[in-house]
C-alpha cells in the first residue's frame, strides 16, 4: 500500500520512543515485553465499509495471539430498543432517533470501560460509524478519563459497485431486515447511507492530535497519524495487510511418513509407500477443488512435506516457520516411550497441552508465535496451498476458524485429507476432501497412549475438528 507519513505522526515508532505511561511493563501472552497499555480501537466510516468485518478480524487475530480483546458493536445495543428501524430513524434531524442512538453508544462505551477494569483486558474495538468529529471527541475524552488510549480506524471507500455488493452480501441478511424482501432491504439501506453522508466527517487535520489509521479503498492507500506504541503499531500493520479479494487457502498434512507408521514423533523421515501414493493423487485433488486458479505451494523444510508437494505443478516456497512443533528430547520417541521415560511430562502435557513445552523443544504457544509472520503473509496473499504438519496445521486452522487454545491442540486432522478454507464476510467456510489412500491415525486422545490405528476412510466418525465454527 501507499503509506503516507503525516507531519504529526510517524510509522512504526520504535518501542524505546514509546510515550511512557504509569503502566508497568509486562510480558504478554506471546512472550513479548509490552507496556500494559489498554487501547480502544474506534471504528469510523459510513455504513457498509467493512468496519464490522475489520473489527471481528482484529479481535480474532489478537485472541489467537493471546492478547485479550473484545468487540463492542453499538448496532447490537441499538437493536434492543429499535430492532428494525427504517432509514428515517438515522436522519440526524430525527430527535428521538438521535437520542436512542446516543443512548446505545453510551451503553456500549460504559460496558467497554467496565470490561477494561479486569486485569489483562487490553484491546476493545468499538464498532460503530462514529462518523462525526463531535462523536469521536466525546469517545476520546471518555477514554482519556479512564486512562485508555484510543486508536481511530477509518475505512473510507467511494466505490459504488463495491458498496452495492457489500449491501447485497451482508446487509440484506442483517437482523435489521429479517423477514424483509432483499430488494426493499437494499433500497432502505442505501437511504440509510444517504442519511449518514449528510453529516459524515472524515478524519482530517482538525483531529491531528488523535492517533489514527485511515484505510482508503480497501488499503490501496493508508494514512497513519501518531501511532504511539508496540500494540498500536501491531494492529495497524495487521490492518494494512488485509484484502477482500475472493480466494481460498488449502491446507494438508504431508502424506503418511515412515515415522507415522512406527508411531514415532518429530524427526525428518521419508514418506511411506502410502504417503507417496497420496503425493501422486494430490495434484488431482487440488485441481478438482481449485480449477485453473493460480496457486502457490508452501511447505516446511522437512523432507516429508517436500516429497508430498513434489508432483504439484505450481510455484513452491519452503518455510522453516512451517516445520513441525519441536518435541526436544522426545524427538523420535513414541507416545508410549514418552509416558515411560518422562511420566511427569507426559501428564503435564495432557493437563495443559497448549502451554506445555517439551524439554529442549516447543509448546503450541511457541508455534503460534513463530507462525505469526506466516499468518500476516497469508492475509496479504491470494490462493495458497500449505503442506505442513499436524501441530502447525492445527494452529493455522485455529486462526481462521477461531478455535480456542483449549480445543485446538486436540483437534483431529487426518492424514491424506485436503482442507479448503474460504474466508468470506464474518465467516470462513470449510470443505474437506479425502484421498482414497488409507493411513495410520496419529491422533492421540487426552489420557491415551495412542496406539496408531488405520484411518477409518472418508466416512470417519465425527472428529472434534468437524463442526468447529469460525467466529
Ligand atoms: P455498518 O456500519 O452498517 O455496520 P460496516 O461498515 O460494519 O457497516 P460490514 O458489515 O463490515 O460493514 O461490511 C462487510 C462487507 O464490507 C463485506 O462484504 C466485505 O467484503 C466488505 N469490506 C471489507 N473491508 C472493506 C473495506 N476496507 N472497504 C470496503 N468494503 C469492505
Ligand atoms: O505424529 C505426527 C506429529 O506430526 C509429530 O511429529 C508431532 O510431534 C505430533 O504430530 C504433534 O501432535 P501432538 O501435539 O498431538 O502430539
Q: Model confidence over 216-255: pLDDT tens digits? A: 999 999 999 999 899 999 999 999 999 999 999 999 999 9
pLDDT, one tens digit per residue, over 132-168 is 999 999 999 999 999 999 999 999 999 999 999 999 9
Backbone angles phi, psi at 204, to 5 degrees: -145, -165
Kindly report the length of the chain: 471
Q: What is the mean pLDDT of residues 19-32?
A: 45
**Amino acid 27: pLDDT:** 53
Tell me how far apart the alpha carbons of residues 165 and 299 are, in angstroms, rounded to a whole number: 35
User: Using H for helix, E for strand and C for coil, what is the string for 127-170?
Assistant: ECCCCCHHHHHHHHHHHHHCCCEEEEEEEECCCHHHHHHHHHHH
Q: Quick check: 237 and 400 in contact, CB under 8 A?
A: no
Among the bound ligands, name the one nearest to the CA of residue 331: 2
* Number of the ligand 2 atom closest to the C-alpha atom of 364: 14
Ligand 1 centroid from CA 384, angstroms:
24
C-alpha of residue 170 to centroid of ligand 1, in Å: 8
Q: 173 C-alpha vs ligand 1 centroid, how far in Å?
A: 14
Q: Which ligand lies nearest to the CA atom of residue 170 in the structure?
A: 1
Annotated catalytic residues are 127, 254, 324
Q: What is the DSSP letter of 93?
A: T
C-alpha cell at 248: 481460498
| Cβ pair 403, 468 in contact under 8 A | yes
Instruction: Identify the nearest ligand to the CA of 446 by its number.
Output: 2
- Residues 50-90: pLDDT tens digits? 999 999 999 999 999 999 999 999 999 999 999 999 999 99
pLDDT tens, position by position, 362-420: 999 999 999 999 999 999 999 999 999 999 999 999 999 999 999 999 999 999 999 99
Number of helices (H), then strands (E), in the chain: 14, 17
Helix, strand or coil, per DSSP, at residue 41: strand
> Which residue has the CA at smallest separation from atom 16 of ligand 1?
50
Is residue 23 predicted with pLDDT exceeding 90?
no
What pLDDT is recorded for position 84?
96
**Ligand 1, residues at Cβ distance < 6 Å:** 45, 47-54, 75, 129, 155, 157, 162, 166, 169-170, 215, 218, 244, 425
Residue 194, SS3 per DSSP: helix
Q: Using the predicted structure, report yes or no on whether residue 12 has a pLDDT greater than 90.
A: no
Please tell me the pTM assigned to this model.
0.90
For residue 468, give the C-alpha cell.
Answer: 468447529
ipTM of this complex? 0.89
pLDDT in tens, 421-444: 999 998 999 999 999 999 999 999
Can you give the pLDDT at residue 3? 45
Is residue 343's pLDDT more than 70? yes
270 annotated as ligand-binding: no
Tell whether residue 304 is among the known ligand binding residues.
yes
State yes or no: 256 annotated in a binding site.
yes
Using 50, 70 and 90 to split pLDDT, how confident is the model at 449? confident
Atom of ligand 1 nearest to the CA of 219: 27
pLDDT of residue 163: 98
pLDDT category of residue 450 using cuts at 50, 70 and 90: low
Query: Taking the CB of residue 456, how many other CB atoms lie within 10 A of it?
Result: 11
339 in a known ligand binding site: no
Name the pLDDT band for 6 (thresholds 50, 70, 90): very low
Among protein residues, the one with the nearest Cα to ligand 2's atom 4 is: 390
* Pocket residue to mutate for ligand 2, from 265, 339, 444, 463, most atoms within 8 A of Cβ: 265
> What is the three-class DSSP state of 198?
coil
Is 267 known to sit in a ligand binding site?
no
- Phi first, then psi: what are they for 214, rounded to 5°? -115, 115
- Check residue 335 and give its pLDDT: 95
Euclidean distance between CA atoms 13 and 312, whole angstroms = 42
Q: Tell me the CA–centroid distance for residue 221 and ligand 1, in Å.
A: 17
Q: Summarize the confidence of residues 344-368 as an average pLDDT.
A: 98
Distance CA 27, CA 33 (A): 4
Rounded Cα distance, 171 and 188, in Å: 10
pLDDT digits (tens, 9 = 90+) for 256-301: 999 999 999 999 999 999 999 999 999 999 999 999 999 999 999 9
How wide is the angle at C-alpha 334 spanned by C-alphas 332 and 338, nearest 5°? 95
Instruction: Using CA atoms of 38, 39, 40, 42 in order, give the dihedral in degrees to the nearest 10.
Output: 180
Element (H, E) at 54: helix 51-64
- Share the mean pLDDT of the chain: 90
Judge whether 293 is annotated as a binding position.
Answer: no
- Determine if ligand 2 sits within 6 Å of the CB of residue 304: no
Confidence of residue 447 (pLDDT cuts 50, 70, 90): confident
Q: Which ligand is nearest to the CA of 440?
A: 2
**Residue of 442, 444, 446, 463 to test ligand 2 pocket, by largest number of atoms within 8 Å of CB:** 442
**CA–CA separation, 11 and 238 (whole Å):** 13
Q: How far is CA 193 from the centre of its chain?
A: 28
Q: Give me the pLDDT at residue 469, please.
A: 36
pLDDT at 35: 53
Question: How far does residue 415's CA lie from ligand 1's centre (Å)?
Answer: 37
Of 462, 461, 419, 416, which Cα lies nearest the Cα of 436?
416
Q: Cα(352)–Cα(339) distance, rounded to whole angstroms?
A: 16
Pairwise CA distance, residues 149 & 210, whole Å: 10
Residue 103's pLDDT is 97
Q: How far is the CA of 324 from the centre of ligand 2 (A)?
A: 8
pLDDT at residue 312 greater than cutoff 80: yes
More confident residue, 449 or 398: 398
Amino acid at each position: 500500500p501507499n503509506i503516507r507519513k503525516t507531519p504529526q505522526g510517524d510509522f512504526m515508532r520504535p518501542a524505546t520512543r514509546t510515550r511512557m505511561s504509569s503502566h508497568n511493563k509486562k510480558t504478554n501472552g506471546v512472550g513479548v515485553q509490552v507496556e500494559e497499555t489498554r487501547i480502544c480501537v474506534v471504528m469510523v466510516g459510513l455504513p457498509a465499509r467493512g468496519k464490522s468485518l475489520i473489527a471481528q478480524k482484529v479481535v480474532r487475530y489478537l485472541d489467537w495471539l493471546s492478547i485479550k480483546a473484545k468487540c463492542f458493536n453499538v448496532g447490537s445495543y441499538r437493536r434492543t430498543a429499535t430492532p428494525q428501524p427504517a432509514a428515517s430513524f438515522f436522519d440526524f434531524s430525527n430527535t428521538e432517533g438521535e437520542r436512542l442512538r446516543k443512548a446505545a453508544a453510551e451503553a456500549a462505551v460504559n460496558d467497554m470501560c467496565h470490561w477494561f477494569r479486569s486485569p489483562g483486558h487490553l484491546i476493545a474495538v468499538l464498532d460503530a460509524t462514529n462518523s462525526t468529529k463531535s462523536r469521536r471527541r466525546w469517545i476520546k475524552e471518555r477514554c482519556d478519563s479512564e486512562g485508555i488510549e484510543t486508536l481511530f480506524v477509518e475505512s473510507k471507500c467511494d466505490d459504488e459497485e463495491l458498496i452495492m455488493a457489500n449491501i447485497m452480501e451482508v446487509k440484506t441478511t442483517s437482523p435489521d431486515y429479517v423477514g424483509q424482501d432483499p430488494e426493499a432491504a437494499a433500497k432502505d439501506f442505501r437511504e440509510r447511507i444517504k442519511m449518514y453522508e449528510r453529516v459524515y466527517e472524515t478524519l482530517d487535520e482538525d483531529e491531528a492530535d488523535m492517533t489514527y489509521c485511515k484505510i482508503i479503498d480497501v488499503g490501496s492507500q493508508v494514512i497513519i497519524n501518531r501511532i504511539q506504541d508496540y500494540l498500536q503499531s501491531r494492529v495497524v500493520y495487521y490492518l494494512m495487510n488485509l484484502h477482500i479479494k475472493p480466494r481460498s487457502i488449502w491446507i494438508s498434512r504431508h502424506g503418511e511418513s515412515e515415522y507415522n507408521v512406527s508411531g514415532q514423533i518429530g524427526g525428518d523421515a521419508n514418506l511411506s509407500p502410502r504417503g507417496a501414493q497420496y503425493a501422486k493423487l494430490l495434484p488431482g485433488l487440488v485441481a478438482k477443488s481449485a480449477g485453473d486458479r493460480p496457486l502457490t505451494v508452501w511447505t516446511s523444510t522437512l523432507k516429508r512435506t517436500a516429497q508430498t508437494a513434489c508432483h504439484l505443478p505450481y510455484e513452491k516456497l519452503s518455510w522453516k516457520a512451517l516445520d513441525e512443533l519441536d518435541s526436544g528430547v522426545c524427538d523420535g520417541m513414541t507416545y508410549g516411550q514418552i509416558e515411560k521415560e518422562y511420566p511427569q511430562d507426559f501428564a503435564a502435557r495432557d493437563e495443559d497441552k497448549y502451554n506445555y513445552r517439551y524439554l529442549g523443544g516447543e509448546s503450541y504457544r511457541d508455534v503460534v508465535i513463530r507462525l505469526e509472520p506466516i499468518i500476516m503473509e497469508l492475509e496479504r496473499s491470494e490462493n495458497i496451498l500449505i503442506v505442513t504438519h499436524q501441530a502447525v496445521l492445527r494452529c493455522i486452522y485455529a486462526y481462521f476458524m477461531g478455535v480456542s487454545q483449549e480445543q485446538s491442540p486436540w483437534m483431529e486432522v487426518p492424514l491424506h485429507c485436503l482442507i479448503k478454507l474460504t474466508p468470506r464476510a464474518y465467516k470462513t467456510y470449510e470443505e474437506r476432501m479425502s484421498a482414497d489412500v488409507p493411513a495410520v491415525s496419529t491422533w492421540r486422545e487426552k489420557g491415551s497412549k495412542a496406539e496408531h490405528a488405520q484411518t477409518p476412510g472418508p466416512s470417519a466418525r465425527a472428529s472434534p475438528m468437524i463442526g468447529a465454527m469460525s467466529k
